[in-house]
Amino acid sequence: MNQLKTWIKRMPEILREWVWLGRYMRRYRLTIVFYICIGILGVAMGLVMSVAQRSLINAVTAEIKIPRKIITAATLAIGLAISQIFIKAVSGWISAHVSIRVVNEIREDIFRKVLASRWELLCRFHSGDLINRLEGDVNAVSSGVITFLPNLVTGLVQFLGAFLIIMAFDPLMAVFALISAPVLVFSARPMMKIMRKHNQRMREVNGRILSFNEEVFQNIQLVKAFSLGSDYCEGLRTLLWEYRRIRLDFTKISIAVSVLMGFLGLIAGYSCYAWSVYRLYTGAILYGDMAMFIQLAATLSSAFSALIRMVPAAVSTATCAGRVMEVTALPAETDIDGEAASALREIADVRGVEIHFRDVAFTYMNGQIPVLQRVSFIAKPGQVVALVGPSGGGKTTVLRLMLGLLSPEQGSLSVVDPVEGISLPVSESTRRLCAYVPQGNSIFSGTIESNLRSVAPDATGEEVVEALRTADAWDFVSELPDTYRTRLGERGLNLSEGQLQRIAIARAVLRNAPILIMDEATSALDADTEARVLRNLMAGNPHRICLVTTHRAGMLAYADLVFRVEGDGSFHRVKAEDMVTAAG
């Protein structure tokens, strides 16, 4: 009774997951129909082959052998066999093309939905877990979308076809062939629960292993510097032992069920074989009939077993779908003000815009204490606004609010054209007015040029070089083997942190946006280089607003407004010269 209640409780969840899968099935209905037709054709040819072989054996073993019948039956059997080979080859080639296209399209679609999700909600997932969902789970979902229904229909056709042929020749033989069916149905129910639980746990552990490996390899330099290799190997060993335990638990149950089903299949097979021998002994059937019965009985049993196995397969696919749904169901960014933001960008390129913070307050979802309280200031075209304060005090949060990655809980944040009074609330739409230099290493593997052009695909070679000059990066880039077409390794391997920072600044410069947001963007630069970069940035666009966070006094010498963000969320203006003097 308790198990029944559990299944009733879980059924809406499984149905919801399959409704979600059904959307993709509708999209690829023609592909699914193609697979069904191919599957039915293969099953039909196999059943006809069994009947043809019966005719051939009967013709060969008949007391009075008629050459014409033997030749006709042999020709039919050989023709069917050759046709099956060619149809299988052609359908396999077509299926490969179709399945690869469908899988890639589904992966791309889900990847796009994940990237479109709101940043704060997406950050609840570890990047390794996201990769695991986008690889393992999405592959399972893609396979289920295009193969589940065809396999189901093909299995039913094969089962019914074999059963009806046996029934037509010997109804009692059909009963023997189905002798294991009730037990198989009974055993499928607990297997369904076990499979779902197993898949969920396996996916979770795989995600943790992938996350662990990703973090170790991203920080391999630190791991080696502190001689932590053995510690992290022990950490991985612990995760792998957990994986082993879960896998072996499932394997024990799986083996037990396989043994049970094997005995049932053995009983069913030998029952059919014994009955066929008896019928042959009494003269009720011929040798060809016996061969056909045994072959079709095996086909019937395997088709039924395949249909039973589709139940846990459906649960496994639904489990993967549920994990994918968890991330694709996150609220998406809308770009609702995209057209207005594009128009404002054109205005800003000519005369700049203002940034208005009015009593902005924010607390992260998992936080209790507000990160920001009553943040208010106005930044005008050509100004440098510097945010200072302790680490973790909320400086980066201000930048995330400005980028529309977060939304204020209270107050308002907007971009304003002071001449015409046009005002837009800051959101994902207003990002087109911003260029961003994040804290830390943000360089992708590939060429320096590809990193820069990712934000400005139409930029000319001269503009790429000019952006590198502005960021004081051209001197070292020009000395590289292929200058800005030099290929960089993962996270810009072989370049210093200061060089990578300057490439990141050049990328933001090439964007040529009216608002430049820099998060500790010169922390790895020496004082002279920092000074040159800042002078170049301000000279490059007199209308540009620079919104920066910094711990360095040298940066403050260029700031028009300096605000201190405290750890308790308070926000107040300070004098730049006082900060410089205090630092000195």
**pLDDT of res. 175:** 73
Average pLDDT over every residue of 72-86? 81
In the numeric block, which tokens belong to residue 507?
Answer: 């990328």
In the numeric block, which tokens belong to residue 513?
Answer: 């946006």
What residues are paired with 561 via a beta bridge?
A: 385
Average pLDDT over every residue of 247-265? 70
Average pLDDT over every residue of 382-393? 85
| Highest mean pLDDT (candidates 19-23, 242-246, 315-319, 482-486) | 482-486
pLDDT band (50, 70, 90) for residue 151 = confident
**pLDDT of res. 262:** 64
Task: Indicate if the pLDDT at residue 190 is higher than 80.
Answer: no
Q: How far apart are CA 69 and CA 58, in angstroms?
A: 10
**pLDDT of res. 266:** 66
Task: Indicate if the pLDDT at residue 3 is higher than 50.
Answer: no
Q: How far apart are CA 216 and CA 222, in angstroms?
A: 9
Average pLDDT over every residue of 322-335? 85
Task: Indicate if the pLDDT at residue 582 is higher than 50.
Answer: no
**pLDDT of res. 583:** 43
DSSP label at 117? B
- By the 8 A CB rule, do 114 and 181 touch? no
| Highest mean pLDDT (candidates 180-184, 228-232, 327-331, 424-428) | 424-428
Q: How far apart are CA 374 and CA 130, in angstroms?
A: 35
- By the 8 A CB rule, do 544 and 381 touch? yes
Q: Of 269, 312, 274, which is closest to residue 178 (Cα–Cα)? A: 269
Q: Of 424, 409, 423, which is closest to residue 336 (Cα–Cα)? A: 424
- Triad 508, 514, 516: Cα angle to 5°: 40
- The distance from CA 372 to its chain's CA centroid, rounded to whole angstroms, is 33
- By the 8 A CB rule, do 384 and 546 touch? yes
571-580's contacts with Cβ under 8 Å and 24+ in sequence apart are: 571/372, 571/373, 571/374, 571/375, 571/376, 571/394, 573/377, 574/388, 576/386, 579/388, 579/553, 580/553, 580/556
Specify the DSSP element, H or E, that contains 437.
Answer: strand 434-437
More confident residue, 465 or 231: 465
**pLDDT of res. 99:** 77
**pLDDT of res. 366:** 66
Task: Indicate if the pLDDT at residue 581 is higher than 50.
Answer: no
**pLDDT of res. 269:** 63
Q: How far apart are CA 142 and CA 139, in angstroms?
A: 5
**pLDDT of res. 577:** 61
Average pLDDT over every residue of 282-288? 78
Task: Indicate if the pLDDT at residue 540 is higher than 80.
Answer: no
In the numeric block, which tokens belong to residue 242?
Answer: 């957990």
Q: What is the mean pLDDT of the chain?
A: 80
Q: How far apart are CA 306 and CA 303, in angstroms?
A: 5
Question: Sign of the C-alpha dihedral, residues 398, 403, 408, 413?
Answer: positive
**pLDDT of res. 257:** 65
Q: How far apart are CA 574 and CA 210, in angstroms?
A: 46
410-417/422-425 β-pairing: antiparallel
- By the 8 A CB rule, do 25 and 145 touch? yes
In the numeric block, which tokens belong to residue 529?
Answer: 């280089």
Q: Which of 295-309, 338-352, 401-415, 483-497 has the lowest mean pLDDT?
A: 295-309
- Triad 46, 49, 54: Cα angle to 5°: 135
Task: Indicate if the pLDDT at residue 261 is higher than 80.
Answer: no
Catalogue all structural domains in the chain, each as residue range(s) with its CATH number. 14-328 (1.20.1560.10), 338-583 (3.40.50.300)
Task: Indicate if the pLDDT at residue 229 is higher than 80.
Answer: no
pLDDT band (50, 70, 90) for residue 468 = very high
| Highest mean pLDDT (candidates 238-247, 320-329, 379-388, 575-584) | 379-388
Average pLDDT over every residue of 270-297? 77
| Residues sharing a CB contact under 8 Å with residue 88, sequence separation 6 or more, in sequence order | 42
